[in-house]
Amino acid sequence: MRDDRTITHLCLVSRALGAEAIVMEEVEKELRDTMSDVCRSWGGEFEILEEPSWKKVVMAAKKEGRAVVHLTMYGIPLQDRLNKMRSLDRLLVVVGGPKVPGEIYGLADFNIAITNQPHSEVAALAILLHELQEGKELKRKFRESRIKIIPQNSGKKVELAH
Amino acid sequence: MRDDRTITHLCLVSRALGAEAIVMEEVEKELRDTMSDVCRSWGGEFEILEEPSWKKVVMAAKKEGRAVVHLTMYGIPLQDRLNKMRSLDRLLVVVGGPKVPGEIYGLADFNIAITNQPHSEVAALAILLHELQEGKELKRKFRESRIKIIPQNSGKKVELAH
């Protein structure tokens, strides 16, 4: 089982960098509460879905026309597949780590490596989402947020909705 | 105290994406062992340094001509400072989270936000290092590695040095 902090970070990064939803084998109540709080405060729509069978998720995604991108250090370098992936409309990104069985390599449309070095699924997901959207995700606005940060050269400035 | 998994990931991401070293307030023996193993197996040079005073690290960096980049969701959007930062030779990146005192905002040359949304210091560091190096870090070769991955469309292929 991956640790809670990493799972929370995968959710937060997915939301912040523009994913519409995340699907997990199991969603702990605490995580669901955390993400509800984040969405209520910071705005936007982001769904946490639970599905014990990873394969069902992958097959359903394929059926609805999503390309399946599996992040793995054993895959093809990101930079060699970016053009092809950017032309795709809808994706399912699989971030597995040790839990994902070998079968995913055959089912994925792309097995992609963000370097062939060991590091972090959170970092790999972040760079993938960033590159797929060519940085546009950094400018994303989140609707109906209660908290808004006003960027500062130094210090913190926060605007609260009334 | 940040959790061990996040600290390990900060170290791994720093190494994989081309940082020369990481400095921490305290380095646990387990982490040092993990990173030694990684460097021995996967090659390259990467240092873990311990320095209980974050301020000493920042002041020393400034003295040797490094620009200090503090990652914070309250800062100026990355995309608005990238050109300026890319022209700098040497940097110290400060990834603090809740532990870093307010003083760092004044000492940093750049307070930079990778989105003004809550997510993950690991992801923020990854996108910063990726953008500063314009993706060249993804092609980095690590010297004297014992393990080398041969990228595959599907499956895993590993080459072991004799």
Phi first, then psi: what are they for A73, rounded to 5°? -65, -10
Q: Residues A101-160: pLDDT tens digits? A: 899 999 999 999 999 999 999 999 999 999 999 999 999 999 999 999 999 999 999 999
- How many angstroms separate the CA atoms of A10 and B9, rounded? 13
- Chain B contact for A146 (CB, 8 A cutoff): no
Confidence (pLDDT) at B1 = 41
- What is the DSSP-derived secondary structure letter of residue A126? H
Confidence (pLDDT) at A100 = 74
Confidence (pLDDT) at A2 = 53
Please give chain B's pLDDT, 162 residues, in tens. 457 889 999 999 999 999 999 999 999 999 999 999 999 999 999 999 999 999 999 999 999 999 999 999 999 999 999 999 999 999 999 998 666 789 999 999 999 999 999 999 999 999 999 999 999 999 999 999 999 999 999 999 999 986
- Chain B contact for A15 (CB, 8 A cutoff): yes
In this complex, do B149 and A108 lie within 8 Å of one another by their Cβ atoms? no
Cα B58 to Cα A20, A91, B105: the distances in Å are 39, 41, 12
Phi first, then psi: what are they for A124, rounded to 5°? -65, -45
Query: Which residue of chain A is at minimal alpha-carbon distance from B154?
Result: A105
Do B95 and B71 touch, CB atoms closer than 8 A? Answer: yes
Cα-to-chain-centroid distance, residue B17: 7
- How many angstroms separate the CA atoms of B107 and B103, rounded? 7
In this prediction the pTM is 0.96
In this complex, do B77 and A138 lie within 8 Å of one another by their Cβ atoms? yes
CB contact residues (below 8 A), chain A span 107-126, against chain B: 108, 111, 113-120, 122-126
Q: Nearest CA of chain B to the CA of A157: how many Å?
A: 7
A-B C-beta contacts closer than 8 Å: 167
Q: Which residues contact A78 (CB under 8 A, 6 or more apart)?
A: A112, A113, A114, A127, A128, A131, B138
- Chain A contact for B100 (CB, 8 A cutoff): no
Residue A130: its H or E element:
helix A121-132
- Chain B contact for A46 (CB, 8 A cutoff): no
- Chain A contact for B67 (CB, 8 A cutoff): no
- Interface mutation target, options A7, A10, A12, A13, chain B, most CBs of B under 10 Å: A13
Residue B75: its H or E element:
strand B67-77
Q: Which residues in chain B touch residue A74, judged by CB atoms under 8 angstroms apart? A: 149, 151-152, 155-158
Nearest to A120 by CA among B72, B14, B19: B14
Do B117 and B73 touch, CB atoms closer than 8 A? Answer: yes
Q: Residues A41-80: pLDDT tens digits? A: 999 999 999 999 999 999 999 999 999 999 999 999 999 9
Share of chain A above pLDDT 90, in %: 91
The closest CB to that of A76, out of B105, B114, B153, belongs to B153
Crossing angle (nearest 10°) for helices B4-16 and A4-16? 60
Going along chain A from its start, the domains and CATH numbers come out as 4-160 (3.40.1280.10)
User: Residue A96 pLDDT > 90, yes or no?
Assistant: no
- How many angstroms separate the CA atoms of A117 and A72, rounded? 10
Token pair 């081309």 in the structure block, residue: B18
- What is the DSSP-derived secondary structure letter of residue A22? E
Confidence (pLDDT) at A90 = 95
Coil, helix or strand for A77?
Answer: strand
User: How high is the ipTM of this complex?
Assistant: 0.96
Q: Which residues contact B84 (CB under 8 A, 6 or more apart)?
A: B110
Confidence (pLDDT) at A13 = 98
The closest CB to that of A75, out of B111, B113, B152, belongs to B152
Q: Residues A4-19: pLDDT tens digits? A: 889 999 999 999 999 9
Confidence (pLDDT) at A97 = 63
Token pair 């809670």 in the structure block, residue: A4
Beta-ladder partners of B95: B71
- Relative to beta strand A21-24, strand A47-50 is parallel
- Interface mutation target, options A116, A133, A157, chain B, most CBs of B under 10 Å: A116
Other beta carbons within 10 Å of B132: 19
Token pair 């959710």 in the structure block, residue: A11
Cα B11 to Cα A86, A123, B17, B55, B126: the distances in Å are 30, 12, 10, 20, 11
Q: Which residues in chain B touch residue A104, judged by CB atoms under 8 angstroms apart? A: none
Query: Which residue of chain B is at minimal alpha-carbon distance from A108?
Result: B154
- Chain B contact for A36 (CB, 8 A cutoff): no
